[in-house]
A = this chain, B = another copy of it.
């Protein structure tokens, strides 16, 4: 068994031959956030249930995960259903259920995904990596005491988390821009679930934008995969460059757009999310 904490967090066991689409897992204390596990691991778990499925066609193209409720400590079940299989694409719905304190099962997360067998075609990257180099001398990002942040080595290049919460945030296109190098800690070979989690690893844009720490939590995240598994493996477990920016903040919700490149400058994934915030 792989002992990396990320693999342990994503461990799923088949629920049995009478429930062929369902797996059993448990929330991970190693990735604990404030009121549940880090949403990136939940999104990665949705993808993992698809990747484990014996009927899987191709590799991930698009994944959307909606966080319906905070996940509690303890076991859950997750069901990934291939609702339509075409010649080269496959469509998935995913649902994660967990019992609440009273024992009643409730929906904690829903997801949809598209997988596909890709063919080689004309290709072009129109979003080059910003010209920022990686250096071990960059200070590590630490925010608060939440456990999951210890599972990543994050080195901000710009848009560090505010050191003073004085409400003096800046507007404009770069007001909420963060660029950071990120890898699993300890290092782990990159794969689709790990990339998915890293696309969600940015602290809330509203904190940077306002230099004010308000309650915030993702309600929906979408990840588009541009890389294939061979390309992911090529970079080993080295740092990726991630970039996140909020576009609009209004009446309790803001959106965020994300790009993730490897050190060779390949754009591995793009992502967006809608985030709830208070006040």
A229 to B64, CA, bound (A): 25
Taking the complex as formed, is A171 at the interface, i.e. its CB lies under 8 A from any CB of chain B?
yes
Interface residues of A in 246-262 (CB under 8 A from B): 246-253, 255, 257, 259
How close is A86's CB to chain B, nearest CB, in angstroms? 7
A89 to B218, CA, bound (A): 12
Q: A66-B91, A126-B171, A267-B247 are in contact. Are A226 and B253 (CB under 8 A)?
A: yes
Residue of B nearest to A125 (CB): B248
Contact yes or no, B251 A121, CB < 8 A: yes
Contact yes or no, B248 A267, CB < 8 A: yes
A89 to B276, CA, bound (A): 10
A64 to B95, CA, bound (A): 15
> Hey, which chain B residues are within 8 Å of A171, CB to CB?
124, 126
Taking the complex as formed, is A175 at the interface, i.e. its CB lies under 8 A from any CB of chain B?
yes
Q: A126-B209, A251-B228 are in contact. Are A112 and B110 (CB under 8 A)?
A: yes
> Hey, which chain B residues are within 8 Å of A263, CB to CB?
none
Q: A66-B91, A84-B107 are in contact. Are A118 and B252 (CB under 8 A)?
A: yes
Residue of B nearest to A246 (CB): B126
Contact yes or no, A274 B114, CB < 8 A: yes
Contact yes or no, B250 A125, CB < 8 A: yes
> Hey, which chain B residues are within 8 Å of A84, CB to CB?
68-69, 106-107
Contact yes or no, A172 B126, CB < 8 A: yes
Taking the complex as formed, is A116 at the interface, i.e. its CB lies under 8 A from any CB of chain B?
yes
How close is A114's CB to chain B, nearest CB, in angstroms? 5
> Hey, which chain B residues are within 8 Å of A276, CB to CB?
89, 116
With A64-B220, A119-B252 known, 16 other A-B pairs at CB within 8 A are A64-B112, A64-B222, A66-B112, A68-B91, A84-B106, A89-B276, A93-B93, A110-B112, A111-B112, A112-B220, A116-B252, A120-B251, A122-B279, A126-B246, A127-B173, A247-B267
What are some 22 contacts across the A-B interface (CB < 8 A)? Answer: A61-B219, A62-B66, A62-B220, A64-B112, A68-B83, A69-B84, A84-B106, A93-B93, A114-B219, A116-B253, A118-B251, A120-B251, A121-B252, A122-B249, A122-B279, A125-B249, A126-B176, A126-B247, A222-B272, A224-B255, A226-B255, A257-B270
- Taking Cβ atoms with an 8 Å cutoff, the residues of A that contact B are 61-62, 64, 66, 68-69, 83-84, 86, 89, 91, 93, 95, 106-107, 110-112, 114, 116, 118-127, 171-173, 175-176, 209-210, 219-220, 222, 224, 226-228, 245-253, 255, 257, 259, 267, 270, 272, 274, 276-279
